[in-house]
Amino acid sequence: MATPNVAIIGGGPSGLTLAKLLQRASIKCSVFEKDVDRHVKNRGGCLDLHADSGQLALKEAGLLEEFKRLARPEGETLRIFSPDGTVLMDESRGEPGRPGEFADRPEIDRAQLRDLILDSLEPGTVHFNSKLLKINTQENSKLTLVFADGREVTDFDLVVGADGAWSKVRPSISDTEPFYSGIAGLDCRISDVDAKHPELSAHVGQGMCLNLGSNKGLMCQRNGDGTVQLYAFARVPVDWFSTSGIDPTLPDARRKVVDALFPEYSDLQKSLVLDSDPDTVGRLLYMLPVGYQWPHNPRITLIGDAAHLMNPFAGVGVNVAMKDSLELAHAIIGEGVGQDSTPLSERLAKFEVDMWARAKKNAEATVMYQNLFFHERGGIAMVEHFAKRREEEQKYKSNEVKSS
């Protein structure tokens, strides 16, 4: 059976991982990325890759050992503070923290992960500055990609949308769009934090630092490049920026957001925002419906945020996306399902059903964690949740010992 010619829209972790896995199986593929080049800096915190998903995909791609050389196990620790600066939980001091399911999730900066996979691909695989407009079907049922600069690239057997929240591929198979999740705020960054703001560096620590109040939080994450990524988020209406008169792109946005949303926080915690770099970004967090599905199309499918956009509060997004890449690669290659006899369309349909189930489970967990991040009782609710999970985990282990 002839191998398909695959177009992958989106050069993030899921799209690049899929390309790498297909190339290892000698399947022709091209990646089309809207960024003008590989050096465009994408904001956002670092990523923790889980052993059963993100790391598993890298292992099959032959990149796990290089990932381990780049990753930061010290970045796994979590601290939680109340708005007055009281320490509610601090894993870095050896205190009880999250249950064992959170173990072995080392952090890596987004740019490092992207470069790791990108550099492993065959030259010419990724076509930058390629913003997709639409997908057309040819008379022979193959697909043509139409780009914003007027280019048309033809003769694809399968198009995979790995192009994120506002996917340009998704409208070809579904009219569902992301909706506002109720969470918004300011995306900040503190560069060269050790030298410029040692007191903030000490507060954040080497991993993640959550300063949680009632339905709000200052959520910080140490990156490997010497910066701290910070999100000053709260439950607010979708039009909050406009009704509050705050322009998030202006330097005074930091002070206005602190005054409006975080007046009860300690001076040190307020400094996380006030002393951050002036190039802030306003963020409204969107999500796709939990359990979202689409009518099967034998030539177009979705993975990652394009398929199941969810908020970052469970820390699973990139891992679910890379697991998508791994499972989709298996479906395209035909491993384990009779490559010579099972039509690609059937393998894709099974992949989608399995992905939908996996995504629904993770989306439900994400909603649960969002409600802990933005709880009326602040960080106390999250600490109590982790204590309950540790207790349940211990009981399960004890029962296993008794039954063995």
CATH of the domain at 309: 3.50.50.60
Is 51 part of any domain?
Answer: no
- Give me the pLDDT at residue 8, please: 98
- Give me the pLDDT at residue 336, please: 53
Instruction: In whole angstroms, give the CA distance from residue 147 to residue 153.
Output: 8
Is 65 part of any domain?
Answer: no
Same domain for 158 and 192: no
Is 46 part of any domain?
Answer: no
Note if the pTM is more than 0.85.
Answer: yes
Q: Which long-range contacts (CB under 8 A, 24 or more apart) does 316-319 make?
A: 316/50, 316/53, 316/362, 316/365, 316/366, 318/13, 318/14, 318/47, 318/49, 318/54, 319/49, 319/50, 319/53, 319/54
Same domain for 255 and 330: no
Same domain for 203 and 142: no
Instruction: In whole angstroms, give the CA distance from residue 187 to residue 282.
Output: 6
Q: CA nearest 306: which of 9, 6, 54, 7?
A: 9
Same domain for 21 and 156: yes
- Give me the pLDDT at residue 65, please: 97
Same domain for 120 and 171: yes
Is 400 part of any domain?
Answer: yes
Residue 132, classified by CB atoms within 10 Å of its CB into exposed (0-12), middle (13-18) or buried (19+), is buried
Domain that holds residue 202: 72-105+179-285+374-404
Same domain for 91 and 236: yes
Q: Evaluate whether 232 touches 185 at the Cβ level (below 8 Å).
A: yes
Low-confidence ranges of the chain (pLDDT < 70): 1, 335-340, 401, 404
Contact partners, residue 231, CB within 8 Å, separation at least 6 = 185, 186, 187, 188, 217, 218, 219, 283
pLDDT, one tens digit per residue, over 75-125 is 889 999 999 999 999 998 888 899 888 888 899 999 999 999 999 999 999
Q: How many domains does the chain have?
A: 2
- Give me the pLDDT at residue 335, please: 64
Cα–Cα distances in angstroms (integers) from residue 287 to residues 147, 217, 362, 367, in the given order: 26, 19, 13, 10
Instruction: In whole angstroms, give the CA distance from residue 274 to residue 256.
Output: 10
Instruction: In whole angstroms, give the CA distance from residue 119 to residue 260.
Output: 45
Q: CA nearest 307: which of 240, 362, 234, 265?
A: 362
Instruction: In whole angstroms, give the CA distance from residue 98 to residue 23.
Output: 38
Is 56 part of any domain?
Answer: no
- Give me the pLDDT at residue 198, please: 96
- Give me the pLDDT at residue 170, please: 98
Same domain for 92 and 161: no
In CATH, what number is assigned to the domain containing residue 239?
3.30.9.60
Same domain for 198 and 90: yes
Same domain for 322 and 205: no
